């Protein structure tokens, strides 16, 4: 178990130190009263002098006091449990809030390198495991430590010799617990990682069930799941096996201590150093003293699991976020310049090298080329989803690496090939970039994007909640286009924006785009070259380089790489 992980958890607890202190005080009150009860029982026992000679008045008085103490101690324990519940769930709430805020700030490089299911598992499943462990741990920890301290004080008041024997034998329990805990933590960490892999696989298979079925991948996906499931089973069994050894081992040590107290106490009674009532008190205290060790060892499983999960959550929370500059990008006119840009996703695999480009306001710049040539990478660099390794990108004389990403992206409207809609109304999906837009503005934008035709047929029109199955892929893309029509940004990025739309609707959308792109700098990534014939400049990319540049007629007259691409789409061989 890593000490820095425990420290981080206690740093989070520090925010609620008042609740923590109050819980400790209540634990102290509860334990103190419970431990005073054996003394009263001992005095009551000593009131039973002999057969037929019982002081009922003394016995009744002590029994009444015992009843009151038990009621007060129970009330203190109940309130302490409520406080521990509130403390635990607030800590987990804070961790999840930090995690989701961190995810929003993490670079795409991190998110692309981790499976979404694993990230979800950290925020949901691992946080739940942490809360379960902390809740059980707090309740046992506070009461246990205070019980040990107060029990020793009471035992010293009865017999110093017996108390010293108990203290000398106690470290045996610690050595046993520590030995086992070191071996169980690694297993719990691997268990948590395997659980994340399993969640990621389920997310992939359920989210892409149509592809799985279409390619007959069901059996192989089940085999992959079974492999991970068996691995999870093995880690879980080993973790629980090691941790389950703790409780019986410490109980054995504690039984030895209890037997030693009974033996020595009996001898001292014969010597007249103790009464029967005193021995009953010492035996009760010996049991009370050892009980916290048994309780704490019984929750080691949960605590080990909790801190293993906490480590995974902190790995996410403490991942290096995107650097955020304080400068603000003013409303752009659309002058975009790339100067000697170099970029690669993997250092030893070069992609874009010495890339330069100038775009003026109102220009339509199409980017074409074979798959993997760097077209989408260009978009990632313009939007600062990734930062260039070398070179500069300048918008209206301002270096984009000196302004905040948010202010830069406000100047772009982006429509991707992959659509994203949230589980919300059609209105909420359209006005993401302009939340204060009126229904009239939204309807007007929908008409421009040709999405109003199907929106008005929805059961509740703009108030209809959109789900994955409620719209076709083409309709989803039309909604995404409507977002841009509503915002009217000064620069546009269209990455295969009409790939899921039928030919008739594409013609209408193209007309809407032509109207929208008028006076705006537009970057268009396209595979269907018929859609970019009217572009002012067509950049032909190959292996991260611009190998040809010009408008459609100029490039066709060169009879080069672009001509071959174009003819391959429109000529029969």
Asked whether residue 95 is domain-assigned, the answer is yes
Label the pairing between strands 521-525 and 352-359. Answer: unpaired
CA atoms within 13 A on the CB side of 463: 2
Which helix (H) or strand (E) is 366 found in, with range?
strand 364-368
Same domain, 308 and 414: no
Nearest CA to 550 out of 534, 538, 542, 568 is that of: 538
- For position 307, which CATH number holds? 1.20.1560.10
Same domain, 300 and 420: no
Asked whether residue 345 is domain-assigned, the answer is yes
Same domain, 505 and 537: yes
Tens place of pLDDT per residue across the chain (573 aa):
567 777 777 777 777 778 878 887 887 788 778 777 777 777 777 666 555 666 677 777 878 888 888 888 888 888 888 887 888 778 888 888 888 888 777 777 777 777 777 787 788 777 877 777 776 666 676 677 777 777 777 777 777 877 777 777 777 766 776 676 666 767 777 777 787 777 777 777 776 666 676 667 777 778 888 888 888 888 887 777 777 776 677 777 777 777 777 787 777 777 777 777 677 777 777 777 777 766 666 666 667 777 777 888 888 887 777 777 777 777 777 788 888 888 887 777 777 777 788 888 888 888 887 776 667 788 888 888 888 888 888 888 888 888 888 888 888 888 777 777 777 888 888 888 788 888 888 888 888 878 888 888 888 888 888 776 777 777 787 888 888 888 888 888 887 766 656 677 677 677 767 777 777 888 888 777 766 777 888 888 777 677 887 888 888 888 888 788 777 766 544
Asked whether residue 329 is domain-assigned, the answer is no
Asked whether residue 122 is domain-assigned, the answer is yes
Q: With contact defined as beta carbons under 8 Å apart, do 158 and 281 qualify?
A: yes
Asked whether residue 181 is domain-assigned, the answer is yes
Asked whether residue 323 is domain-assigned, the answer is no
Q: How far is residue 407's CA from residue 378's CA, in Å, rounded to a whole number?
A: 19
Nearest CA to 163 out of 252, 274, 251, 27 is that of: 274
Same domain, 351 and 286: no
Same domain, 125 and 216: yes
Same domain, 253 and 365: no
Q: With contact defined as beta carbons under 8 Å apart, do 155 and 163 qualify?
A: yes
Give residue 350's domain range: 336-570
Number of independent structural domains in the chain: 2
Question: So what's the pLDDT on residue 328?
Answer: 78
Q: How far is residue 222's CA from residue 224's CA, in Å, rounded to a whole number?
A: 5
Question: So what's the pLDDT on residue 573?
Answer: 40
Domain boundary among the residues 317, 347, 366 is at 317
Same domain, 123 and 172: yes
Same domain, 280 and 394: no
List Cβ neighbours of 2 (8 Å cut-off, separation of 6 or more): 307, 311
Same domain, 458 and 497: yes
Q: Which two tokens stand for residue 391?
A: 């070179």
Same domain, 298 and 357: no
Nearest CA to 81 out of 35, 142, 40, 1 is that of: 142
- For position 392, which CATH number holds? 3.40.50.300
Asked whether residue 173 is domain-assigned, the answer is yes
Question: So what's the pLDDT on residue 63?
Answer: 81
Which SS3 state, helix, strand or coil, does residue 368 take? strand
Domain boundary among the residues 317, 349, 377 is at 317
Same domain, 550 and 420: yes
Same domain, 202 and 109: yes
Asked whether residue 326 is domain-assigned, the answer is no
Domain boundary among the residues 317, 348, 377 is at 317
């Amino acid at each position: 178990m890593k000490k820095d992980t425990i420290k981080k958890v206690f740093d989070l607890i520090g925010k609620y130190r008042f609740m923590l202190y109050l819980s400790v005080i209540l634990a102290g009150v509860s334990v103190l009263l419970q431990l005073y009860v054996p003394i009263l029982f001992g005095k009551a026992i000593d009131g039973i002098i002999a057969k037929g000679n019982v002081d009922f008045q003394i016995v009744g008085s002590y029994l009444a006091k015992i009843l009151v103490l038990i009621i007060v101690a129970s009330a203190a324990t109940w309130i302490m449990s409520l406080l521990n519940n509130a403390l635990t769930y607030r800590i987990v709430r804070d961790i999840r809030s930090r995690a989701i805020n961190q995810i929003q700030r993490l670079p795409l490089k991190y998110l692309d390198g981790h499976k979404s299911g694993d990230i979800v598992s950290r925020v949901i499943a691992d946080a739940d495991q942490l809360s379960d462990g902390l809740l059980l741990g707090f309740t046992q920890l506070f009461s246990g430590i205070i019980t040990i301290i107060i029990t020793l004080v009471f035992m010293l008041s009865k017999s110093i010799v017996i108390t010293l024997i108990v203290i000398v034998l106690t470290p045996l329990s610690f050595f046993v617990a520590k030995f086992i805990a070191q071996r169980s933590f690694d297993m719990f960490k691997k268990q948590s990682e395997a659980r994340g892999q399993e969640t990621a696989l389920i997310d992939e298979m359920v989210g892409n069930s149509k592809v799985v079925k279409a390619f007959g991948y069901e059996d192989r996906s089940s085999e992959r799941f079974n492999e991970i499931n068996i691995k999870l089973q093995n880690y879980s069994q080993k973790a629980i096996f090691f941790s389950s050894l703790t409780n019986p081992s410490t109980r054995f040590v504690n039984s030895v201590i209890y037997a030693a107290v009974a033996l020595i106490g009996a001898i001292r009674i014969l010597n007249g150093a103790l009464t029967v009532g005193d021995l009953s008190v010492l035996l009760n205290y010996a049991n009370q003293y050892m009980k916290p060790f048994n309780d704490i060892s019984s929750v080691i499983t949960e605590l080990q699991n909790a801190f293993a999960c906490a480590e995974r959550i902190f790995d996410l929370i403490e991942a290096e976020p995107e650097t955020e500059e304080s400068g603000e990008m003013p409303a752009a006119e659309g002058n975009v310049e790339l100067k000697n840009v170099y970029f690669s996703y993997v250092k030893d695999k070069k992609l874009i090298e010495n890339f330069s480009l100038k775009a003026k306001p109102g220009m339509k710049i199409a980017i074409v080329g074979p798959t993997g040539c760097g077209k989408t990478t260009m978009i990632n660099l313009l939007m600062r989803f990734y930062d260039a390794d070398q070179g500069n990108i300048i918008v209206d004389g301002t270096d984009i690496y000196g302004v905040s990403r948010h202010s830069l992206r406000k100047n772009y409207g982006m429509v991707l090939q992959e659509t994203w809609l949230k589980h919300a109304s059609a209105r909420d999906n359209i006005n993401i970039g302009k939340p204060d837009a009126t229904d009239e503005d939204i309807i007007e934008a929908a008409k421009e994007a040709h999405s109003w035709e199907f929106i008005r047929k929805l059961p509740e029109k703009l108030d209809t909640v959109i789900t994955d199955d409620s719209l076709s892929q083409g309709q989803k893309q039309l909604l995404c286009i409507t977002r841009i029509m509503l915002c009217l940004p000064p620069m546009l990025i269209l990455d295969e924006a009409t790939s899921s739309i039928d030919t008739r609707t594409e013609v209408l959308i193209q007309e809407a785009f032509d109207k929208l792109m008028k006076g705006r700098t537009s970057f268009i990534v396209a595979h269907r070259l018929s859609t970019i014939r009217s572009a002012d400049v067509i950049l032909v990319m190959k292996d991260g380089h611009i190998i040809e540049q010009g408008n459609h007629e100029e490039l066709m007259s060169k009879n080069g790489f672009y001509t071959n691409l174009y003819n391959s789409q429109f000529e029969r061989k």
